[in-house]
Structure 1
Amino acid sequence: MSQPFSPQQQALGNLLDRPNRVQVASYSQYLEAQRAVDYLSDQKFAVEHTSIVGEGLKIVEQVTGRLDWTRALSLGMTQGAFTGIFIGLILNFLGFGGENRSFLSLMIDGLLLGVIFGAFWGLLTYAMSGGRRDFTSVGGMRADHYNVMVDPELAEQARALLERMPSMPVPPTR
Structure 2
Amino acid sequence: MSNSSPFARRSSASLTVPRGDVLGEYETYPEAQKVVDRLAKAEFPVKGIAIVGSDLKTVERITGRLSYGRAALSGAASGAWLGLFFGMLLFLFSPEPQLSFILAAAFIGSGFGMIFGITTYAINRRRRDFGSTHQVLASSYQIIIDPSQTARARQALAGGSTWPPPLPETAPSDAPTSAARPLDAPPAGGTEADADSAAGPAADESATKR
2:4 aligned with 1:8, yes or no?
no
| Structure with the higher helix share, 1 or 2 | 1
2:146 aligned with 1:146, yes or no?
no
The 1-side partners of 2:123 and 2:151 are apart by 57
Alignment of 1:48-127 (within 5 A): 48-95=47-94, 98-99=95-96, 102-103=98-99, 105-127=100-122
What displacement does 1:124 show?
2.4
* Contact kept? 1:56, 1:145, Cα under 8 Å: yes
Which structure has the greater CA radius of gyration? Answer: 2
* Shift in alpha-carbon separation, 1:16–1:66, aligned structure 2, 3 A: same
* Shift in alpha-carbon separation, 1:45–1:61, aligned structure 2, 3 A: same
What displacement does 1:14 show?
1.7
* Contact kept? 2:19, 2:144, Cα under 8 Å: no
Return structure 1 stretches of 4+ with deviation > 4 angstroms. none
Moved more, 14-23 or 146-155: 14-23
Structure 1 partner of 2:26: 27
Q: Structure 2 unaligned segments of length 5 or more: list them.
A: 1-5, 161-210
Q: Which has the higher contact order (CA 8 A, sep 6+)?
A: 1
Aligned partner of residue 143 in structure 1, secondary structure: strand
C-alpha root-mean-square deviation of aligned residues, in Å?
2.2
TM-score, with length taken from structure 2: 0.65
* Contact kept? 2:18, 2:50, Cα under 8 Å: no
What displacement does 1:9 show?
5.7
TM-score, with length taken from structure 1: 0.77
Structure 1 vs Structure 2: percent identity of aligned residues?
Answer: 34
What displacement does 1:130 show?
4.9
Q: Structure 1 unaligned segments of length 5 or more: list them.
A: 1-5, 166-174
